[in-house]
Structure 1
Amino acid sequence: MFNKEKKFPHVKKGKGHPLILLHGLMGGLSNFQSILDFFSEKGYKVIIPSLPLYKMPLFLTNIYHLSKYVIQFIMEMNIKKATLVGNSLGGHVALIIAKKRKDLVHSVVLTGSSGLFEKSFGYVFPKRENYEYIKKKSQEVFYDPNIATKELVDEVFRIVNDKNKGMKTLYLAKSSMKYNMSQDLSFIHQPICLIWGKQDHVTPPEIAKEFHRLLPHSELYWIDKCGHVPMMEHPKKFIDILKKWLSKFDFNHKNFLYRI
């Protein structure tokens, strides 16, 4: 059910250990529909905040203030020790929160996350008025180009050609590139699950391996024939990996015991 509460609009479904799902720069709440439906029926409280990508003042439109917004949201929801699941820019936000607010984060799931390196959609959006160009760039996000439906391409086209949204998209993309976390990852000690598409051209497999090397308590899982958004392209495989990984924790124990 979508909560239209003005300060923190979000979707919330289910009861139990909180999973907070964070979408990427060109993503939205629907990207996580399969995860919302499945885990909300399996003893988890699944929450998807609508990130204010285009609602922050221009001078505050950066990844730092986006992470600050999510921290405020988590506190407003009175949640402690959540699992953050982040795709692309959302993964970057999750890592920042995990480092800054250990009290709020039990664990993190990253899929196609920025934070080290990414091949941008195009920070200056060349040919942004060319629909076929935007269609091609949208298709490149996926292994199967058919995942980029006309509806999805139309939405991206609208965003990059809207003066306000286009400018804020650039600001967020550039701040993500500047906020490299290679020196920060060794300080993040929560359990980390990396779920990566083997054919991710935006954050290539080498990036997943580097995250795995730098994050002290990480596990890396691959999905073949998959691009930058695994939970959309292979929802069942993504859910199977995540379900198995989460089953290692006893969320009924106050210290969230890890099952070996």
Structure 2
Amino acid sequence: MEPYLLPVVFVAVFAAFALSASAGFGGSLILVPTLALTLGTKNGVALAALLLAANNFVKVFAYRRTLPFRKAVPVVVLVAAGTFLGAKLFVSAPERWVTIAVILGFGLAFLVETLDLNRFRRIGSPVLAFASGATSGFSGTSGPLKGLAVRALDLDRMHLVGALSLVSLVGDVTKTAVWTDAALLTGGDYLVALACVPLMLVATFLGRRFNYKIGERGYTGLFWTVMLGYTGRLLAGL
């Protein structure tokens, strides 16, 4: 990475962590394209997964009192299974395929969003959970599908953020483990993650504080703003 790009990357990292702590997800919306542009698609996606995994440990601790373990377990298990499969495919896939998969992932999310999911929320949640994991493991980001899968659990704002944090943690840790074993992530990448710990702590604190202040209605707006952000990335890639 060119030295002049470091400030841009660190700003993007901080913004991603703060958004993720506020909404429970959305960090990959900022981090994946930034690191993919600066490091290349595969290396950027892999490092983004490592950084988001580390940040999700901080998020889970921050929201430890509102973690809906019982309700979130089915989604967590399906996301982990889908992520493992997608991450394995990612290792052997040509870089161009991975780039196309990112665009197709958003396309799938866009199509899902046009369906009337209210009638089929309980049925659709497991399907979306597995699909979000597979998309995340293969392309590095699954925000829209993950958001829809967890929102279908009908949780209040704080428990929704807690569930999203749990699901994100499991998905990103799964990807990180697979890609470390495949040598896509090295000791140098882990040093970068360690250097970002202060950013994680500050950004998570600020994001959680913002979440507390905006209330249920404000959070609903933030949630769908993040969803629209993913859709915007889809349109930009067309």
Higher-Rg member (1/2) = 1
Q: Same fold (TM over 0.5)?
A: no
Identify, as 1 or 2, the structure richer in strand: 1
Give the TM-score category using the shorter length.
under 0.3
TM-score, normalised with respect to structure 1: 0.25
TM-score, normalised with respect to structure 2: 0.26
